[in-house]
Amino acid sequence: MIQLDKIQAIVKDVINTSKEFYIFENGKAIWKEIPDYYDGYKKAVQQKNRIETHSEVDNFPKTLFKHRAPNQSDAENEYIENNYKNTTHPAFVDYLSVVSRGLNDHNWEILYPQGGNDAEDYKQYITNEIDEFQSLESYVKQIVPSLRANDANGVSTFRLKDVSFVEVDGQMVVDDTKKFEPQPMEYGCEQIVAWKWNTYGLFESHENTFVMYGTKEYEIGRVFYFYDDTNIWKVEQFGKFIDHTFNFTLVFAHDLGMFPCRKLRGVPKIKKGGNIYYTSRFYYAVDLLDWSLLYSNYLNAQMANVCFPMRWAVGDDCDFTNQDGVECHDGYFMGENGKSACPKCKGTGQMPRFSSMGTYLLKGAEGMDKGDTAFSIPMGFVEPSTETLKFTKDTAKEYFEQAKSMLHIHTSNSNVKGSTDMTATGMSIDMKAMYAFVLPDSDQTFDVFQFQLDVLGKVRYGKDFDGAKLVYPKSFDFRTDGDILEDIKMAREANLPTHVISSLVHQYLRNRFYSEQSTNTVSQIIEAADRILTLSNEEIIQRKTLNTVESWEIVLHDSGLKLVNDLIGENPNFLDLEIEEQVALLKAKAIETTPKDLSVARAEGFATRVLGQ
């Protein structure tokens, strides 16, 4: 436990480091610069900001476009900002899809504690009483991968919901006669203003208190929360803004005996002071994505010049005369007051001959004056070469593809040409490298999941409570449905053993239907009942000729889904039955449906027995 005087000293150091950067301006408080609280702080904030350039869609990255190209005009710079499009955001979305693969339901398992009222209440709480997300599982799936990709140095912790206070010995303390309602929460790296590994953390809140600035009160006072292995303190500024005085309030004595805060983590590096600095795996591709984003937006500006090029035309000398009788000379008048531009030709000295509808009027030949006939083209356009556009587009695409490759984001079902011009699926994907890339990131996501399961349970039921345990994913299948179908096709063409093809078919069905509960159940029933599921039509015909396949088995093979639907129509609870009974009923339904011949006569007794039960 950290004593109050130590906490006050930590807060004082934070204020002394940052007070010159947190200033009052135009009626509000602003940060004019990022403070350097400790080794790695500014670097962590910079990392997060650079990643958000690609993860946030609508924010114009001023820092990225700050130093514009040497020949770029102010108008072009303004056009890019006003018409900015985030073309690299899809890479971030695809990255989340890759690293979140381990969160698919069939890859992991959760083991809840058994026995006792606390165990039952714990499961109910974890699965139904998490704010916004209902369950902790949904919170992890929907929030944690994105948080970790954006901010590896952020912190996962907890807060108390709807805390009740009672007065004890003249002090207001948390009412511990009711079960606490801890909720998962996180602090961004920019909020972690003091940190000692596994000991304490001081976090600057987005809350503000009212303090005096001059003769008025403004909501600009700073608020902090201090966590250690025993307590949570709230630190609030009061009085005058420039005096930096604070109240320290003990808001919750959790007495867990553990520091209930955990970094979200990425690739670790130990700093000189002993703290660990983390790099998001997405960050390694940010340089390439920055270039791609720059060139894509430069391309948009160039496209505007191509679509709306500068027009030129032959013009006549301006013949405007001002009120003093002075004629326009090369676009200007010379007078006592000096040089002034002609209001008609705007200082150009030329007047183009365009009609009110934009038609260019040609001046015909007259005597020795050939008029506009002397010009082969009296009007034209100045436009950039499309070669520049192609080069810019190709360069932006090249950097984007390199970044995707670094993040192990590949186009699935890709065709790669070999020396014999044969196609192959997934030849561009190194599965082992992808596995090595995804597994540590997946483990760190499940570390956060397990941490929250532990902390929420201990806060609610006491420090000795053992919460649910996770069985982490150990294997991942990165192939899509199309990839597996292509593998099945190749396996059949190569005449591989039937059990190999059977394995691929089962993989396809699990991959295709794992997230659709009823469809997944139907798929499992058909898999269990159809013993010729993986055979080709030619193989089925051959086996039928040899009388090794019954006619009803072919009917089940061809019409399995319809037969299951018929059984559901007869019994709405069919999908709730045990798998053995479901398979027996499906086989019996196939036998009943098959036209009678010698092959099904032998099975007629079986159908009668099952359907007659």
Lowest-confidence segment of 129-138, 198-207, 339-348 by average pLDDT: 339-348
Mean pLDDT for 14-34 is: 92
Quote the CA–CA distance of 298 and 395 in Å, as a whole number: 11
Dist. CA 402–CA 396, nearest whole Å: 10
Q: What is the pLDDT of residue 498?
A: 66
Q: Is 215 found in the same domain as 346? A: no
Whether 583 maps to a domain, the answer reads yes
Task: Establish if 177 belongs to a structural domain.
Answer: yes
275 & 157 share domain: yes
More confident call, 156 vs 558? 156
Which region among 129-143, 226-240, 435-449, 498-512 has the lowest average model confidence (pLDDT)? 498-512
Are 604 and 521 contained in the same domain?
Answer: yes
Mean pLDDT of the chain, nearest integer:
84
Selection from 195, 176, 179, 197 nearest residue 187 by Cα: 195
For residue 79, give both structure tokens: 């056009």
Same domain for 426 and 444: yes
Of 430, 447, 477, which one is at a domain's C-terminal end?
Answer: 477
What's residue 417's pLDDT?
39
> What Rg, from alpha-carbon coordinates, does the chain have?
36
Are 80 and 163 part of one and the same domain? no
Percent of the chain with pLDDT over 70: 83
Cα angle: 587, vertex 574, 519; to 5 degrees: 90
Asked if 204 and 269 sit in the same domain, the reply is: yes
Query: Token pair for residue 264?
Result: 């979200």
- What's the DSSP call for residue 552? H
DSSP 480-534: -HHHHHHHHHHHHHTT--HHHHHHHHHHHHHHHHTT-HHHHHHHHHHHHH-TTTT
244 confidence band (pLDDT: 50, 70, 90) = very high
Q: Is the CB of residue 63 less than 8 Å from the CB of residue 47?
A: no
Residue scoring higher pLDDT (218 or 345): 218
Share of the chain above pLDDT 90, in %: 46
Quote the pLDDT of residue 376: 65
- Report how far residue 457's alpha carbon sits from residue 440's, in angstroms, rounded to the nearest whole number: 26
Q: Is 166 in the same domain as 27?
A: yes
Residue 602 has pLDDT above 80, yes or no: no
Give the distance from CA 200 to its chain's centroid: 30
Rounded to whole angstroms, the Cα distance separating 246 from 242 reads 12
pLDDT tens digits, 259-287: 999 999 999 999 877 789 999 999 999 99
Q: How far apart are CA 79 and CA 188, in angstroms?
A: 33
Q: How many helices (H) and strands (E) does the chain have?
A: 18, 22
Distance of alpha carbon 400 from alpha carbon 292, whole angstroms: 6
Q: How many domains does the chain have?
A: 4
Q: pTM for the full model?
A: 0.72
Kindly report which listed range (149-158, 269-278, 469-478) carries the lowest average pLDDT score.
469-478
Buried b / exposed e over 327-349, threshold 16 CB at 10 Å, is ebeebbbeeeeeeeebeebeeee
Q: How confident is the model at residue 146 (pLDDT cuts 50, 70, 90)?
A: very high
- Looking at the predicted structure, is the pLDDT value of residue 34 above 60? yes
What are residue 549's phi and psi, to 5 degrees?
A: -130, 130
Q: How far apart are CA 528 and CA 71, in angstroms?
A: 69
Model pLDDT, residue 477:
65
> What phi and psi, each to the nearest 5 degrees, are found at residue 152?
-65, -20
For residue 92, tell me if it sits in a domain.
yes
Compute CA 309 distance to the chain's CA centroid, rounded to the nearest angstrom.
38
Contact 273, 36 (CB under 8 A): no
Higher pLDDT: 411 or 455? It is 455
Is residue 291 located within the same domain as residue 394? yes
User: What is the DSSP annotation of 459-470?
Assistant: HHH-TT----EE
| Phi and psi at residue 395, to the nearest 5° | -65, -45
What is the per-residue pLDDT for 172? 64
pLDDT digits (tens, 9 = 90+) for 554-600: 888 888 878 888 898 899 888 889 989 999 999 999 998 888 654 44
Q: Average pLDDT, stretch 303-308? A: 70
Q: Which of 251-260, 290-299, 358-367, 503-512 has the lowest mean pLDDT?
A: 358-367
Whether 392 is covered by a domain: the verdict is yes
233 and 271 together in one domain? yes
Q: What is the pLDDT, as a whole number, of residue 421?
A: 42
Q: Are residues 295 and 422 in the same domain?
A: yes
Identity of the residue numbered 190: E
The residue behind tokens 């999941």 is: 449
What is the model's pLDDT at position 394?
93
Q: How far is CA 588 from CA 530, 547, 551, 561, 610, in A?
A: 12, 20, 13, 14, 6
Give yes or no for residue 422 having a pLDDT over 90.
no
Whether 396 and 450 map to the same domain: the answer is yes
Q: What is the rounded distance in angstroms from the CA atom of residue 6 to the CA atom of residue 19?
A: 20
Higher pLDDT, 316 or 401: 401
Q: How many CB atoms lie within 10 A of CB 246?
A: 21
Is residue 139 in some structural domain? Answer: no
Q: Is the pLDDT higher at 27 or at 3? A: 3
For residue 602, tell me if it sits in a domain. yes
Does 313 have pLDDT greater than 90?
no
Residues linked to residue 247 through DSSP beta bridges, in sequence order: 236
- Does residue 605 sit in the same domain as residue 561? yes
**CB-neighbour burial class of residue 48 (10 A; exposed 0-12, middle 13-18, buried 19+):** buried
Choose the weakest-confidence range: 123-127, 411-415, 462-466, 482-486.
411-415
- Is 334 inside any structural domain? yes
Q: Whole domain around residue 98: which residue ranges? A: 54-116+280-309+387-477
Average pLDDT over residues 30-50: 94
Q: Is 82 inside any structural domain?
A: yes
